[in-house]
């Protein structure tokens, strides 16, 4: 993926997508997969934490951010998903059936929303960094910045571990149920947003190889060391489903 300079993106029309590069951010990775799967062309812009120019343009100090034509910037995962559904209806990721739609969006919120799976995963990474004085995971400076930004509390870290464990167990159960029903995807016979978010959520605890998700070597070492310290055993069936989803999304 060829990132463009911010000035080029600002003067362009169509879809501009601000993404974290070389870091398997579940939110950025899911946004990229969704727009790629739907074959919606976009102009990628690299987000840098120490560069304030993106916030000046979008009003958001984070990534991903989607800017479509002259419409207001969008940064919430559900807003980006809704934009993708609006721009390309032939590859739906949200079911039309009301009950199925509620199920998909509810499960997606449990993964991507505030205090969801990836939120608590991030708190575990922050904790691993701080208790090892930066020997695992983030540097102390970055960990302290993120701790303040996302409400890290060492006394609540066991609750985060339990929330992650519950989320893994729930997804593993859904995989077992889909196998029983003869389905390839979690809640439907075709991929939904849940399959994509469940796959992208695992990247920080089990990074994919570089030919699938390229990472800066320093970032890979950081994530590998943090995952080893956290010691999570992600269910094998969940990792297998992630590989299946990535293969599906990358096919022509």
Q: Are residues 102 and 81 in the same domain?
A: no
Contact 105, 76 (CB under 8 A): no
Pick 197 or 218 by higher pLDDT.
197
Average pLDDT of the residues in 63-87: 97
Q: Are residues 43 and 147 in the same domain?
A: no
Which pLDDT score is estimated for 196?
97
Query: pLDDT above 90 covers what percent of the chain?
Result: 77
Contact 20, 63 (CB under 8 A): yes
Q: Angle 117-131/140-150 helices, nearest 10 degrees?
A: 140
Q: How far apart are CA 38 and CA 57, in angstroms?
A: 26
Question: Domains in the chain: how many in total?
Answer: 2
Residue 61 C-alpha from the chain's centroid: 17
Q: Angle 98-112/77-87 helices, nearest 10 degrees?
A: 140
Residue-wise DSSP of 56-85: HHHS-SSS-EEEETTSPPB-SHHHHHHHHH
CATH of the domain at 75: 3.40.30.10
Determine the 3-state secondary structure of 120 from DSSP. helix
How many helices (H) and strands (E) are present in the chain, helices listed first? Answer: 11, 3
State pLDDT tens for residues 76-130.
999 999 999 999 999 999 999 999 999 999 999 999 999 999 999 999 999 999 9
Q: Is residue 36 part of a domain?
A: yes
Q: Is residue 93 part of a domain?
A: no
Q: Indicate if the pLDDT at residue 252 is higher than 70.
A: no
Pick 211 or 44 by higher pLDDT.
44
Q: Are residues 145 and 184 in the same domain?
A: yes
Q: Are residues 195 and 236 in the same domain?
A: yes
Contact 84, 93 (CB under 8 A): yes
State pLDDT tens for residues 137-181.
999 999 999 999 999 999 999 999 999 999 999 999 999 999 899
Structure tokens given for 2: 């060829």
Nearest by Cα to 69 from 10, 130, 110: 10
Contact 193, 37 (CB under 8 A): no
Q: How far apart are CA 226 and CA 122, in angstroms?
A: 11
Q: Is residue 1 part of a domain?
A: no
Which pLDDT score is estimated for 48?
83
Average pLDDT of the residues in 42-68: 91
Q: Is residue 168 part of a domain?
A: yes
Structure tokens given for 38: 């739907």
H-assigned helices in 113-205 = 117-131, 140-150, 157-180, 193-200
- Residue pointed to by tokens 């691993």: 128
Q: Are residues 148 and 170 in the same domain?
A: yes
Taking the alpha carbons at both ends of the chain, their separation in whole angstroms is 16
Which pLDDT score is estimated for 213?
82
Q: Indicate if the pLDDT at residue 13 is higher than 80.
A: yes
Pick 50 or 64 by higher pLDDT.
64
What's 133's DSSP letter? T
Pick 211 or 110 by higher pLDDT.
110
Which structural domain range is residue 68 located in?
Answer: 6-87
Residue 190 φ then ψ, to 5°: -135, 160
Q: Are residues 134 and 234 in the same domain?
A: yes
Contact 223, 215 (CB under 8 A): yes
Q: How far apart are CA 197 and CA 97, in angstroms?
A: 20
Q: Are residues 129 and 225 in the same domain?
A: yes
């Amino acid at each position: 993926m060829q990132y463009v300079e911010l000035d080029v993106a600002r003067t362009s029309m169509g879809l501009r997508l601000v993404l974290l590069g070389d870091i398997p951010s579940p939110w950025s990775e899911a946004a990229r997969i969704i727009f790629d799967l739907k074959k919606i062309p976009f102009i990628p812009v690299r987000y840098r934490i120490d560069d304030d120019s993106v916030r000046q343009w979008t009003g958001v100090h984070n990534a991903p951010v989607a800017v479509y034509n002259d419409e207001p910037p969008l940064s919430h995962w559900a807003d980006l998903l809704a934009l993708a559904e609006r721009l390309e209806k032939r590859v739906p990721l949200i079911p039309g059936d009301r009950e199925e739609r509620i199920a998909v969006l509810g499960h997606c919120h449990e993964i991507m929303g505030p205090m969801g799976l990836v939120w608590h995963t991030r708190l575990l990474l922050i904790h691993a960094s701080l208790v090892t004085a930066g020997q695992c995971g983030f540097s102390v400076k970055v960990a302290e910045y993120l701790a303040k930004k996302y409400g890290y509390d060492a006394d609540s870290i066991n609750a985060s571990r339990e929330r992650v464990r519950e989320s893994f167990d729930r997804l593993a159960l859904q995989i077992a149920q889909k196998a029983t029903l003869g389905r390839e995807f979690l809640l439907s016979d075709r991929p939904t947003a849940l399959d994509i978010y469940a796959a992208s959520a695992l990247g920080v605890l089990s990074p994919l190889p570089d030919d699938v998700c390229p990472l800066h070597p320093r970032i890979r070492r950081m994530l590998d060391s943090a995952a080893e310290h956290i010691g999570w055993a992600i269910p094998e069936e969940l990792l297998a489903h992630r590989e299946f989803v990535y293969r599906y999304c990358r096919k022509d």
